[in-house]
Structure 1
Amino acid sequence: MLNQKLEITVEYAKTFESFQWMPIQDKILLLRDVVFVLILLETAYKRSISKSTSVLNHRNERERQSVEENMGMSMIIESFNRANLDKKEFLLLKAIAFMHSECSGLTPNSYRQLSCQRQLILDTLFNYMMSKHEKHGPVRFGHALSVLWSVYEATNSYVESLMDMDLKPLTTELLANKLPEFLT
């Protein structure tokens, strides 16, 4: 499931002209920083519009989640529910999250391109919300951006949990196993 979401996210990235022209190392750095954010964003949005906070696996069974995972996702879904974004607003917010110019290690040219593109998308979202929600547009814009803050908070929590894990036994076991014939 995660591999499929990863593939979809990479294909999504390829739709941006600025991404297409980036050096390969910058593409890798950017994807490293935004893939998990985009997957969480998409998952939480789908759950918020379906009003479901439960996680179902491919057999439509509830997956067990740790308290931290559940709290992180619940926080994002709650932010989406408060923001009450339509599909266009969500897609623009997703593009803003993708244009993560603060990604460390980017070349100056990629940084400039991402910053400019992100500003254009921010302006587009703001103008769209102003025209749709009139005097409530600025507040709605703020709520939309707060969704990203919730996603970044949850992502940081997940990353910290991963870093606290002792992966040495698993890594040792994986490296000790012989690769299947078709992979060698």
Structure 2
Amino acid sequence: MLNQKLEIMVEYAKTFESFQWMPIQDKVLLLRDVAFVLILLETAYKKSISKCTSVLNHRNQREKQSIEENIGISVIIESFNRAKLDKKEFLLLKAIAFMHSECSGLSTNSFKQLSCQRQIILDTLFNYMIFKHDKHGPVRFGHALSVLWSVYEATNSYVESLMDMDLKPLTIELLANKLPEPLT
């Protein structure tokens, strides 16, 4: 399931002209940096439009999640519910999340390209919201960006949790187990 989501994300990335012209190293850095953000964003949006707050695994079973995980995804879903984004607004927000020029290690040229593209998409989202929501457009734009902020916060929280994990016991256990003998 995760591999399929990553494959879809790579195909999504290929639709952006700026991504097509990036050096391979920058492509890898960008995809690594935005993968979890885009997966969380997509999952939370789908859950918000289905009015479901639980996350199901690939077998359609409710995932056993820690309190922190439930809070993280629940906050994002709640942000989507409050923002009431339509499909176009969501797709523009997703593109903004993808154009993450602050990604560490990008070449100067890729940074500039992503920054310019992101600004164009931000302007497009703002103009769309002004057109669609008239005087409420700027507030709706702020709500949309707050959804993205919630996703970044949850992502950072998950990454910090992973970094704090003590993997030494697990690594020792895995290394101590005898691997099956190859068939001859």
Tell whether the structures are fold-level matches, with TM greater than 0.5.
yes
Which residue is equivalent to 1:95? 95
1:106 corresponding residue in structure 2: 106
When structure 1 is superposed on structure 2, of 146-155 and 164-173 the one drifting more is 164-173
What is aligned with 2:73? 73
**1:123 maps onto 2:123 in alignment:** yes
Q: Deviations over 1:79-120 (max 9, x none)?
A: 101110000000000000000001111111000000000000
TM-score (norm 1): 0.93
Cα drift, residue 146 of structure 1: 0.2
Q: Which runs of 5+ in 1 are unaligned?
A: none
Query: How many residues were matched structurally?
Result: 182
3-state secondary structure, aligned to 2:73: helix
How do 1:5-154 residues align onto structure 2 when only pairs under 5 Å count?
Answer: 5-154=5-154
List gaps (5 residues or longer) in structure 2: none
Q: Tell me how far apart the structure 1 counterparts of residues 116 and 182 of structure 2 sit (CA, whole Å).
A: 48
What SS does the aligned partner of 1:63 have?
coil
| Cα RMSD after superposing both structures | 1.8
Counterpart code for 1:145: L
Runs of 4+ aligned structure 1 residues displaced above 4 Å come to 172-182
Q: Per the alignment, do residues 179 and 158 of structure 1 end up closer, same or farther by CA in structure 2, a change over 3 Å counting?
A: farther
Output the CA distance in 1 between the equivalents of 2:163 and 2:4.
Answer: 24
The letter for the 1-side match of 2:10 is: V
TM-score by length of 2: 0.93
